[in-house]
Structure 1
Amino acid sequence: MMTRHCLVLGGARSGKTSFAERLALRAGSRPAYLATANMLDDEMRDRVRSHQAGRGERFTTIEEPVELSHMIIKAGATHDVILVDCLTLWITNLLIASEDVATAVSELCATLTEFKAAKVILVSNEVGLGIVPDNAMARTFRDLAGSAHQRLGEICDDVYFVAAGLPLTMKGDAPQMPS
C-alpha cells in the first residue's frame, strides 16, 4: 500500500486540526500526535491542555518543537500515522532558535519524500490571506510559511484547505468522512 502524506491548511480556528485528527484516526490504528508548541506562558499551557483533553487517549502525544524530521522518523518505528500540529509553530520555534528555516524545510521535504513507514499529516496555518504585515519580522514569517506550504504542497499527495470546518480538496482524493 502506498503511503500518502497530507497537508492540511486553514486559518486560526478554521477546524483544520479537528479535520486532520479525523483523517488520522481513519488512516491508522496507532496514531501519534507530534505537537510542536512551546508552552512559554499560562495562556499557551491552557491551550495545550485543552487540545490534549480533546484528543483524549486516541493518540500518543509526542512533543518536539524543533527537530521535526528526526522525530517523524523516530515515531514511524511505532506508529502508522503521524499528525504534526503545527508547522507555523515549528517555523516560529526555528526563528526563535536562530535556525535556518529554509534548510529545515528542505530537510523535512527530503524526509517526507523518502519516508514510507507511516502516513504523515501536516497541519499549518495559512497566514498569507490577509493584509501585508506592518513589520519586517512578521513579513519574513509570512514569506517563510508561504514558501514552506508551496514546497510541502508539491510533495504531499493530498492537500486540503479548511474554512468554517469544511475541507476543500486542493490536491488528491476527496476525504471519505462520516458527516
Structure 2
Amino acid sequence: MVFEHVANAWCLELTNSVPDRNDTDRDWLGDADTAGAWAASLGFPLAHPLADEERRALVDLRETIFVIFRAHVDGASVTPRTLRELTREHARGLERHGYVADGGAFRRDWPRAWHGSALRAAFASSAVELMTGPRLDRVKQCPGCGWLFVDTSKNRSRRWCSMDMCGGRDKALRHYRRQRAEARG
C-alpha cells in the first residue's frame, strides 16, 4: 500500500491518516497491519503491532488534532476541553519520553522501535510545536479531500494536498467544464 505524506508536519500526517476526510470509511489506522505500515512509512517502525486500544487512542488524538487545526483554518474557536485533551497527551509524552543530553546538546528521548504511547507523544509534541510556532499561519486545508497541510511554498500559494492527488483532479474538471461550455456555446 502506498501512503501519501504531504502535510509537512507529523501531527497533520496523523490527521491525514484518513485517506479522504469526505469519505471516512477508509482509515489507515483501521487495522493493526495497515497502521503499522503507515507508521513505518513515516519513519516510525513499530516494536509490535498496535493493539486495538492503542489504535483507538491514536484515532482519538488524531481527531483532537484535526478539530484544533480545522478550527484554526476556518477561523473558529477551539473549546478549552479539546485543548486540554491535547495538553494531557503532550504532558504524558513528556513524562515517558523526556529529554537527554547528547554531545553538548539536548534531544527528545524517542525510542528506536515505536509503540502506541511513543507515537502519541510524537504527534502531540508536533501539534504543540505547530500551534505555538511560526508556521501556524501556513496551515491550510485541501478543498478536494479535506487533508490539512503546512504550505511551505515561497509565495504561500499552495492550494491542494498535492498536484498528483486533488490538484490534478481539479484541473481536469475545470478543463472538462471549459470544453463543455465551448461546445454548447
TM-score (norm 1): 0.26
- Flag the structure with larger Rg: 2
Higher helix fraction: Structure 1 or Structure 2?
2
Higher relative contact order (CA 8 A, sep 6+): 1
TM-score (norm 2): 0.26
Higher strand fraction: Structure 1 or Structure 2?
1
